[in-house]
Amino acid sequence: MVLVSVVVPVYNVQDFLEKCVKSIKAQTYQELEIILVDDGSTDCSNEMCDKFAQEDSRIRVIHKKNGGLSDARNVGAGLAAGKYLFFLDSDDYVDSRLVEKAVGAAEKFDSDIVYFDYKRLEPNGDVEVCDCNLPEMCPISLKTNPELMLQTLSVCAKLFRRDFFTKTGLFFPVGYRYEDLGTIPKLVLTADCVVYLREPLYYYMIREGSITTGTEDEKNYSHRKKMVEGVLDYYREKGQFETFHRELEYLTFYNMYFIPAREMIYHDRKSPYVKKCRDLTVKLFPGFRKNPYIKNMGRKEKVQFWILEKRQFWMMNVLSWARKQSDKMRRR
């Protein structure tokens, strides 16, 4: 059996860490090294990490000064020794078969990256399965399947061959949010072989107060802008901007305008950053509204896009209220 390195950045997650680590220890595939990177936790997380290491020789703990999620991931990846590399956020957990299934697919096709589905667990109990629109269990790449760029950007819903990951010279951007947005499209361009497992094997916890659900519009805007522009520059440097123009255009629209504007409207319909997101998207891709991927969006997203374009932001709040009422009725 080949060794798999599991990198877990840890920061003030004492209420979630035990479930996370237990889910890794319970893997049906046991040839693991588990690297817990304590990123300067101020709660009991650091002590819990040390306790886990005493109980299982496969667990290694790194205590470091707080540098953020990207820095912790980079440190862990730099210390990894396994043939494969898997990143797990410390407030999430995984299916017991994840590593076995992902390694099996990677070995069968000699793949650089294995994609798999995940379940998004909302605080209210709602569960959403996030899957990909890709062919299953066959070798693909960005050249053969350009839509690969637009699938889930979460680094945690993937298994990487470590030497591929290292040789790219790419690292998670330190000091920024949306680090996956700034990293995954670059890795996908470099990968010769990607395989997709159509099975939800990762459980992504949405929790109140997590770094991805805040309302700091200015910071979120500037960080998204940095990540998107970094991806566009990378494709230009590699001479692939025009080849994947449609995909980069939709990637920019979806992550620089559609998603952030929708999030901002829910908490502040008058946020000036809604217009800034739209204006930047128009500046980068003036004709984005004609992108064929937009035409293929689902009905719900098309309605939301219409609301954004018509500036009828009050309707977004009505839709949100209606959804919450529906959720209450369903749970009775």
Question: What CATH number has the domain bearing residue 115?
Answer: 3.90.550.10
Q: Find the helix packing angle between 259-267 and 272-284, rounded to 10°.
A: 170
Nearest-5° Cα angle at 227, 225 to 230: 105
pLDDT, residue 211, reads 46
pLDDT for residue 209 is more than 70: no
pLDDT(215) > 90: no
How many angstroms separate the first and last alpha carbons of the chain?
A: 48
Q: Last residue of some domain: 205, 227, 244? A: 205
**If pLDDT is split at 50, 70 and 90, which confidence band does 122 have?**
confident
Q: Is 12 left (phi over 0), alpha (psi -120 to 50) or beta?
A: left
Mean per-residue pLDDT, 270-275: 89
Region of poorest pLDDT, from 17-26, 35-44, 208-217, 253-262 = 208-217
Tell me: do 92 and 172 sit in the same domain.
Answer: yes
Six-digit token string for 112: 């650089």
- What is the number of structural domains in the chain? 2
Contact of 90 with 11, CB cutoff 8 Å: yes
Same-domain pairing of 186 and 282: no
Under 8 Å between Cβ of 70 and 117: no
Is 210 a domain residue?
no
Looking at the structure, do residues 121 and 244 belong to the same domain, yes or no? no
146 and 225 inside one domain:
no
What confidence score (pLDDT) does residue 321 get? 62
Are 230 and 115 contained in the same domain?
A: no
Same domain membership, residue 178 and residue 250: no
On the CB side of 29, how many CA atoms lie within 13 Å of its CA? 21
Mean pLDDT of 192-209: 91
Of the residues 183, 205, 227, the one at which a domain ends = 205
In this structure, what are the phi and psi dihedrals at residue 175, rounded to the nearest 5 degrees?
90, 5
- Residue 76: CB atoms within 10 A of its CB come to 25
> pLDDT-derived band of residue 204, with 50, 70 and 90 as boundaries?
very high
Question: Looking only at Cα atoms, what is the longest distance across the chain?
Answer: 59
Q: Are 160 and 221 found together in one domain?
A: no
- Say whether both 65 and 163 belong to one domain: yes
pTM for the structure as a whole: 0.92
* pLDDT reported for residue 322: 60
Cα 316 from Cα 213, distance rounded (Å): 18
Distances (CA, A) of 267 to 35, 148, 314: 37, 32, 11
**Does position 288 have pLDDT exceeding 70, yes or no?**
yes
pLDDT digit string, tens, across residues 223-239: 999 999 999 999 999 99
The neighbour count for residue 54, using CB atoms within 10 Å, is 10
| pLDDT of the residue at 320 | 63
Nearest to 98 by CA among 179, 17, 156: 156
The one-character DSSP state at 89 is -
**pLDDT tier for residue 126 given thresholds of 50, 70 and 90:** confident
Containing structural domain, residue 297: 217-331
Q: Give tens-digit pLDDT for 61-110.
A: 999 999 999 999 999 999 999 999 999 999 999 999 999 999 999 999 99
Are residues 173 and 320 located together in one domain of the fold?
A: no
Domain assignment of residue 288, yes or no? yes
